[in-house]
Amino acid sequence: MSDSWSKRTKAVHGGIRRSQYKEVSEAIFLTQGFVYDTAEQAEARFIESGPDEFIYARYGNPTVSMFEQRIAALEGAEDAFATASGMAAVNGALTSMLKAGDHVVSAKALFGSCLYILENILGRFGVEVTFVDGTDLEQWKAAIRPDTKAVFFESMSNPTLEVIDIQAVAELAHAVGATVIVDNVFSTPVFSKAIEQGADVVVYSATKHIDGQGRALGGVILGSKEFIRGTVEPYLKHTGGALSPFNAWIMLKGLETMALRVNAQAETAQRLAEALEGHPALARILYPGLRSHAQNALVQRQLGGKGGTVVSLDIKGGKEAAFAFLNAMTVPVISNNLGDAKSIATHPATTTHQRLSDAQREELGITPGLIRLSVGLEDAGDLINDINNALEASQK
């Protein structure tokens, strides 16, 4: 593989390791362990294992390693550690580097499970977390202290699609030596340049766009070789968050078509958002690719103007209207994944963000009428017609 290859080429050929059969498609090494020729070899491998030497699938596996190297090449990261899910990646990135007494600054607009880790788990182990409005640089500036160890945010938040300025937050964090950890799911590996823009650690739920076909859970932590091998690997290999080789193979094959899928989905999302903007049934439409989006200038700079694959619709009439909308749609399915080939609609207030208090939801803009629509690979015209019909039904 050449470093000068573009993302599209790396997504197809990056990280490949072929067995003695020289198979074209990546092999699935569905094995938990590996045989040593001699006792001496086993001893040596436990002291230090080379790149083609494996011990136990909780530590590493050839198929998993192919996935790690392919996504690292794509993202422009030195190394990667694959995890059983996106949450194992978020938890692994944070807990592997933090200890009691540390201070973290986090954006408050977070996916429910991310919020649980930052709000409930870290505190139990003596880590202090300060929450800020991630779009307000003054709040980051005020919250980051000389002893801040890490900052954490979703570069595009779930489900209100706030976009956070990676470069500006990274400058503030790096001034005190803090590690910048970015949950980059909504920005996607296709549009993101997070590492180039200053992120030290990038986390993905591979369950989303990387698989992109709703089959398997997975996640990945990307960063420097020192962070991945020195901090993350020892934590994850002993705590058991490893990705299964079979799921790693699904993710590897997912990466090959990811750019085609995500570009097509984002194009449809843009068309849909433009078609629905100003619709009388909508109190708000949130899509980072719209000129009317609060951070659209940042989207131009940070993501090349790409707004991603999710559109959030705030339907007039609250929960009742939102439910009527969901029950009237015929193309998208009601579920809670995103980045899938199938369009998926979610009512965050009663599902993914149900755990939050009414006050928290209100503060985050998760209103009773809010629908998160993950745009799939269906025909844009079919989707726009269907959403228009469902919006009409929601107001009856």
Ligand X SMILES: *Cc1c(COP(=O)(O)O)cnc(C)c1O
Instruction: Give min distance, CB of 188 to ligand X, in A.
Output: 11
Strand ordering across the sheet containing 201-205: 79-83, 219-223, 201-205, 179-183, 148-154, 103-107, 128-132
Q: Which is nearer to ligand X, 63 or 205 (CB)?
A: 205
- Which positions ≥6 away from 382 have C-beta within 8 Å? 331
Nearest-approach distance from CB 239 to ligand X, in angstroms? 15
The runs of H, that is alpha helices, within the chain are: 7-13, 39-47, 62-75, 86-97, 112-116, 122-124, 137-143, 166-175, 188-191, 225, 233-239, 245-276, 296-303, 318-328, 358-364, 380-394
Residue placing its CB nearer to ligand X in the complex, 54 or 249: 249
State how far the Cα of 248 lies from the Cα of 281, in Å rounded to an integer: 42
Beta bridge partners of 45: none
**Least distance to ligand X from the beta carbon of 306, Å?**
17
Nearest distance from C-beta of residue 300 to ligand X, angstroms: 22
Would you say 102 and 123 are in contact if contact means Cβ atoms under 8 Å apart? no
Taking the complex as a whole, the smallest distance from the CB of residue 252 to ligand X amounts, in Å, to 16
Closer residue to ligand X in complex, CB, 109/387: 109
What phi and psi, each to the nearest 5 degrees, are found at residue 378?
A: -70, 170
Q: How far is the CB of 117 from ligand X (least distance, A)?
A: 10
Please report how close the Cβ of residue 77 comes to ligand X at its closest, in angstroms.
18
Length of the chain: 396
Other beta carbons within 10 Å of 189: 25
Q: How many CB atoms lie within 10 A of CB 295?
A: 18
Q: Which of 108, 208, 185 is nearest to 152 (CA)?
A: 108
Q: How far is the CB of 75 from ligand X (least distance, A)?
A: 16
Sheet bearing 310-315, strands edge to edge: 282-286, 310-315, 370-374, 344-346, 333-334
Q: Which residue, 54 or 153, is less far from ligand X as judged by CB?
A: 153
Cβ-proximal residue to ligand X, closest one? 86
Residue placing its CB nearer to ligand X in the complex, 111 or 323:
111
Q: How far apart are alpha carbons 349 and 364 in whole angstroms? A: 11
Distance CA 81, CA 372 (A): 29
Angstrom distance (rounded) from CA 255 to CA 195: 19
Query: Which residue lies nearer to ligand X by CB, 85 or 135?
Result: 85
CB of 297 to ligand X, least distance (A): 23
| C-alpha R_g of the chain | 21
Of 118 and 276, which has the nearer Cβ to ligand X?
Answer: 118
Render 249-286 in DSSP notation, one character per residue: HHHHHHHHHHHHHHHHHHHHHHHHHHHHTT-TTEEEEE
Nearer to ligand X, 152 or 227 (CB): 152
Shortest separation between residue 208's beta carbon and ligand X, angstroms: 6
Binding footprint of ligand X on the chain (CB under 6 A): 85-87, 90, 111, 113-114, 154, 158, 183, 185, 205, 207-208, 217, 219
Nearer to ligand X, 132 or 185 (CB): 185
Smaller CB separation from ligand X, 70 or 372: 372
Phi and psi at residue 287, to the nearest 5° = -150, 120
